[in-house]
Amino acid sequence: MTSGTQHTATYEQAQPLPRTGDQSNLWIIWVGVGLLGLGVLLWTVTSRRRKHV
């Protein structure tokens, strides 16, 4: 139990930013990656259809 409390204390000292902010930033990054992946997937599908036709 003591190691866990020490870890949280060091984590707070190392990163002054609130944990909620970090979570929102990660969420935005994952959303961006997902949208980018969808865009690439749609682009490949449309390019393949154009090549075949």
The DSSP code for 17 is S
Is 4 part of any domain? Answer: no
Is 13 part of any domain? Answer: no
pLDDT for 1-53, tens place per residue?
Answer: 455 555 555 555 565 655 555 667 888 999 999 999 999 999 999 998 877 66
Structurally, how many domains does the chain consist of?
A: 1
- Tell me what pLDDT residue 24 has: 74
Domain that holds residue 33: 19-53
CA separation for the pair 7, 1 (Å, rounded): 10
Is 8 part of any domain? Answer: no
* Nearest-5° Cα angle at 10, 8 to 16: 95
CA separation for the pair 12, 30 (Å, rounded): 24
Is 37 part of any domain? Answer: yes
Is 23 part of any domain? Answer: yes
- Tell me what pLDDT residue 26 has: 85
pTM attached to this predicted model = 0.47
Is 50 part of any domain? Answer: yes
Is 6 part of any domain? Answer: no
- Tell me what pLDDT residue 42 has: 96
Q: How far is CA 43 from CA 1, 17, 21, 37, in A?
A: 51, 38, 33, 10
- Tell me what pLDDT residue 21 has: 58
Is 29 part of any domain? Answer: yes
